[in-house]
Amino acid sequence: MENEDRIIYCIKKQFLCCTPINKFDFMTFGENGFKMVDTCIQEKLLNSTVNNPTVKKYPLKKSYQKAFLKFIIDKLERCNQDIHDNVYDLYCNLVSQNDDSSTHYRHFLLNDRATRDCITLEESTSIISHGTTGMCSWQAALTLAEWCISNESQLTGKRILELGSGIGLTGVAVISACSPKQYTFSDCHPAVLNLLCKNLYTNLSTDSKEHPENLEKRDERLQFRTRYKDSGVRVENLKWEEIEEYVNESTLVPEIVIAADVLYDKSNFSALSNALETLLKNGTQYAIIAATVRNSSTIAQFLEELDSKLGYEDEPVPNSEVFIQTSDAPIRIIRVFKELS
């Protein structure tokens, strides 16, 4: 069988970030209906997935773990392969448990150029929770992180502001792989900000970190602050409508602004394009926006609004080297800049 360890690593990577089972690639293990997956390989698979110590500490959604095991059991039964007792035990154990938690974890394995192996994020189990879409990671956040990693040299040593950060996927990837000088996460929803701070506390382990609960209400804007290796990291409560004030309060404006999946609500377009205009007028060099194209006319409408104030162009969308892309909707990466007058 082709390099068994490599296949187990690929399955582990897909499992840890909850790749939908119907999009899962079992590589040569899946050929001939799992005939080659003997009990010894099954044990290794369990140790990398459901029994992985990271999953034990920060569990994935139980229904997802159940579906994964059920899929494997069905495949093994169909080809009359012996099934390891632990596979059944774990499955029965999961079936007997309640699945009523409102949050779960996903883990995104990084490549060896990053300063950490994995990003661990607590997310909402539903795509809309507390009346916001910001409590889980969206596909555009992965594509933006992928763009940042493949354009690392543009971001190293820079002050970066992320708008509508959600719970932190893109930012933790940038901090871990691109060594910015300063990275500021921002969002305006209190529940999103709380979960974001928790996720940064989990991921950016430094001696000086303070528990987010001790930092809450430090001041109206600043929600969390830490250092991670060479990067200053901040979380700020920032509405796009308040960018003018924010720029006036700041001693240094960000050099680069990034944002993922912020082009879905037309009623926000004018606030967002004004915010970009203000930042670019005050010294920001450019903004990079990753947008999922659910409806091309929605994005066109935003770009029309933007066009009256700023220039823009599409960036090449990078191949998926670090993150697994499972969405069927295309993603656009748009660079926004101030036109020379």
Ligand X SMILES: C[S@@+](CC[C@H](N)C(=O)[O-])C[C@H]1O[C@@H](n2cnc3c(N)ncnc32)[C@H](O)[C@@H]1O
Q: Which helix (H) or strand (E) holds 106?
A: strand 103-109
Residues 6+ apart with CB under 8 A from 300: none
Q: How many angstroms separate the CA atoms of 196 and 163, rounded?
A: 13
Pick the closer one to ligand X by CB: 157 or 330.
330
- Is the CB of residue 210 less than 8 Å from the CB of residue 226? yes
Does 137 bind ligand X (CB under 6 A)? Our answer is: yes
Does 134 bind ligand X (CB under 6 A)? Our answer is: yes
Pick the closer one to ligand X by CB: 108 or 228.
108
Q: What is the dihedral of CA 193, 197, 202, 206, to 10 degrees?
A: 160
Two structure tokens written together for 177: 């792989």
Does 133 bind ligand X (CB under 6 A)? Our answer is: yes
Contact pick of 44, 61, 181, 239 for ligand X (by CB under 6 A):
239
Stretch that binds ligand X, among 93-101, 114-122, 163-171, 315-323 (CB under 6 A): 163-171
Does 261 bind ligand X (CB under 6 A)? Our answer is: yes
- Is the CB of residue 184 less than 8 Å from the CB of residue 193? no
Q: How many angstroms separate the CA atoms of 292 and 26, rounded?
A: 27
Does 271 bind ligand X (CB under 6 A)? Our answer is: yes
Does 324 bind ligand X (CB under 6 A)? Our answer is: no
Mark 193-232 with x for binding to ligand X (rule: CB under 6 A) and - for no binding. ----------------------------------------
The sign of the torsion formed by the CA atoms of 291, 295, 299, 302 equals negative
Supply the minimum distance, in Å, between the C-beta of residue 274 and ligand X: 11
For ligand X (CB under 6 A), the number of binding residues is: 23
CB atoms within 10 A of CB 238: 24
Stretch that binds ligand X, among 67-75, 147-155, 158-166, 304-312 (CB under 6 A): 158-166
Supply the minimum distance, in Å, between the C-beta of residue 261 and ligand X: 4
Q: How many angstroms separate the CA atoms of 286 and 293, rounded?
A: 21
Write the secondary structure of 272-339 as one string of H (helix), E (strand) and C (coil). Answer: HHHHHHHHHHCCCCEEEEEEECCCHHHHHHHHHHHHCCCEEEEECCCCCCCCCCCCCCCEEEEEEECC
Contact pick of 46, 140, 174, 331 for ligand X (by CB under 6 A):
140
Does 263 bind ligand X (CB under 6 A)? Our answer is: no
Supply the minimum distance, in Å, between the C-beta of residue 252 and ligand X: 20
- What does the chain come to in residues? 341
Does 334 bind ligand X (CB under 6 A)? Our answer is: no
Pick the closer one to ligand X by CB: 114 or 192.
192
Of residues 180-199, those binding ligand X (CB under 6 A): 187-189, 192
Q: List residues near ligand X by CB under 6 A.
A: 132-134, 137-138, 140-141, 164-166, 169, 187-189, 192, 239-241, 260-262, 268, 271
